[in-house]
Amino acid sequence: MFQAFCRAFFTCYCPLRVVGQRQLPSSPFIICSNHTSHIDSAVLMTASGLPFSAFAMLGASDYFFAPWRTRFVVSRFMNVIPIDRQAQHKSLGRSLAMCEEFLQRMHGNLILYPEGTRSCGGELQTFKKGAGLFAVELGVPVVPAHIEGAHRILAKGRLMPRPGPVTVRFGEPITFKSNQFDPRLGRGPRRAAVELLEQRIRALSGGPSAGDQIGPPEELVEEEQATVSASAVFERDRNTRSHGRSRVLEQASRRG
């Protein structure tokens, strides 16, 4: 019922435009998106064209699970996996295990908001480093996405949605190579994964012009999936920084 309501809502009241739907790979996968409104998850699930039951989202434990009324209502409409805002190692491990079970055993898909909370003005906030843990360690394709217009429909602090258009842009999937068995790299690959995702989502926020693709999946152009090693990105960035420091020292020695 909720899925049918959302499809009608994003057809009649808030027209939904989808760009790059064919970028979505076969399940399981993760959608990483900006976050400005409570309607974001409904927008992404509707834009995917897949059943809502095929998705779960990470939600703050204190917001979605502590008040029993909120927990009761939300559980009727979507799958939510709890995560602590001030996540410690054990609680992160539990959340990661629940995500892995949903992705692999249920063959579902995960919605992840790397900003950690909704943006008030619609601008993209700095990504939390913990997002890299899920992106790298879960070992499934990660699809960057950008939602435009949701904050104007139901901004943070508002209770009633207002009519208006909303656009979802899906980017090229990324498959990060997990480095969980390489202790030498520490948190580097996760940090690199977060930086790469932030770059990709910021690029999507520019988006194509209004005259570009709109419409059903068969009209979209499918692009080849990319595989990215987060450790390679980390090593490249580290080498770049090291090279920069060497040049500074060399210039200083010449002046001396």
For 2-255, which CATH class? alpha beta
Query: What is the domain partition of the chain in residue ranges?
Result: 2-255
52: number of Cβ within 10 Å: 18
Which string of b and e fits 64-94 if b means at least 16 CB within 10 Å?
bbeeeeebeebeeebbbbbbeeebeeeebee
For residue 128, the model assigns a pLDDT of 78
Q: How confident is the model at residue 251 (pLDDT cuts 50, 70, 90)?
A: low
For residue 212, the model assigns a pLDDT of 39
Q: Which residue has the higher pLDDT, 175 or 248?
A: 175
For residue 245, the model assigns a pLDDT of 52
Among 41-55, 79-93, 158-172, 174-188, the range scoring the smallest mean pLDDT is 174-188
For residue 172, the model assigns a pLDDT of 94
